[in-house]
Amino acid sequence: MPNLKGNVLNIADLRELARKRLTKALFDFCDKGSEDQVNMRANRLALDNIKLMPRMLRDVSTRDPGINLFGKDHSLPMIIGPTGPAGFVWYRGETELAKAAAKANIPFTLASTSNTPMEDIYKNGGGTQWFQLYVWQDIEASLVTAKRALDTGYEALVLTVDSPVYNNREIDIRNGLKFPPTINARTALDVMIHPRWLFGTLTKYYLAEGRLPAFSNIHIPDEQKENAKTYVSASTKGFLNRNETLDWEFVKRLRDVWPKKLLIKCVLHPDDASMAASCGVDGIFVSNHAGNVNDSAITAWDALPAISDAVGSKLTIIADTGIRRGSDVLKGIALGADVIAVGRATLYGVAAAGEAGA
C-alpha cells in the first residue's frame, strides 16, 4: 500500500500511482478513450476554458456543500459513477469504491460489467448504492439483471444508452486486452513487470476464488454461456454485444417494471432530455461516456446549458466527464447540473490504493 499522506496532492498524483501499479493494458483501458482520443482531449479542454467570475466581500465562514438528492441528504453534490474495471484494478475494487462513497456520504453506482456480485457489494459497501444497466443482445436477460438489482436493494437504476454497438477502442485491441484479462504470450511480460498488480489483485482472486471472476452481474442464460466468455471493444461478437434495437419504447417498458428512481445516462441533446422526461424517468446523466464511445461527440459541458434550459425544472441533471478538481464540480453546477459524477478520478484512486485512494 503506497503512503498517500504528503505524496498525493491531486488526482494527477493518483493517476501516476495507478499507472505504475497496473499493467499497461489495464491502465490504458482506464485512462484512454476511443479511436484518436479527440473527445477525451475536448472534454478536458471544455472544462479548462470555463472561467469563473467571483464576487468579493461575502461572509463565507459558514459553508455547507450538502444536497438533498431523491429525498436523501448527502454531504457533497457528487456521486461516484459506474466504472466497470474497478474490480480488475484492485481486489474487489467495487466494494472499496462503495465504502469510500459511504464514508464521504455520497452515492455509489455499480457498473453492470463489474466482476464482484452485486449482492456482496451492496452488503459490504454500505451507503447509498445505485446500479448501472447495459442492454445486451437478449433484452429479457437485461430485465432479469434489473430485477436482481431491485431485489438486492439498489435505490436507483441507471440505463446507459449511448452504446447500441460497441465502441471502437483501438488501443485495447492493440494491447490485446480482453475481459476478463488473460495471461498469454502477448501479455505475460506486461503482467510480470507489474508485481503489485500480479500479487495484490490477480493472485488474490485465484487464491480466493480459483479464477479472475467476470460478468457476475450480467444475467447470461445457460444456452448463451459459450457465447459470453469474453469481450474486447468493437471486435466482440455474441451475447455480450450491445442491443442495436434499443429505443424509447424500451425506456417506457423499463419505467413500468422499475418502481424506484430511474435515470438515463449519456444524454447530449435537449430533445432527448425532453423525451426522457416524457417517459417518466427521474433524472439524466449529461455525458459523452468520458470519451469512450463517439470520438466526435459534443462534450457534456457544451451540451449542458441547453439541456438545463429544456428540462432543468423536470429532471435531476447529473453531469460527468473529465472531473479532476473541486473547481470542475463548481463549473458543472454553474452550467446547470444538480450533481456531478466522477469516474476516472476515483478509478485512479482505487487502482492506486483501494478505499484509501478512492
Residue 212 lies in a domain: no
Beta strands in the chain (DSSP E): 67-69, 72-74, 78-80, 108-110, 129-133, 156-160, 261-267, 283-286, 316-320, 339-342
Q: Distance between CA 283 and CA 71 in Å, rounded?
A: 13
Per-residue exposure over 29-59, b if at least 16 CB sit within 10 Å of its own CB, e if not: bbbbbbbeeebbebbbebbeeeeeeeeeeee
- The domain in which residue 316 lies consists of 11-50+72-172+218-245+259-265+286-356
| 148, three cell numbers | 436482481
User: Which regions in the chain score pLDDT beneath 50?
Assistant: 234-235
- Mutual angle of helices 139-152 and 248-257, in 10-degree steps: 30
Residue 349 lies in a domain: yes
Q: Distance between CA 136 and CA 129 in Å, rounded?
A: 22
Cell numbers 459511504 correspond to: 102
pLDDT at 230: 64
| 18, three cell numbers | 495507478
Q: Distance between CA 125 and CA 97 in Å, rounded?
A: 8
pLDDT at 280: 98
Please pick, among 74, 194, 219, 289, the residue that the annotation labels catalytic: 289
Whether 74 sits among the annotated catalytic residues: the reply is no
Q: Dump pLDDT digits (tens) for 25-45.
A: 999 999 999 999 999 999 999
Residue 183 lies in a domain: no
pLDDT at 241: 72
pLDDT at 326: 97
Asked whether the beta carbons of 201 and 88 are under 8 A apart, the reply is yes
Residue 26 lies in a domain: yes
Residue 189 lies in a domain: no
Q: How far is CA 187 from the centre of its chain?
A: 25
Q: What CATH number did the domain enclosing 321 receive?
A: 3.20.20.70
pLDDT at 141: 87
Looking at the structure of the chain, the number of domains it has is 1
Rg of the chain (C-alpha set): 20
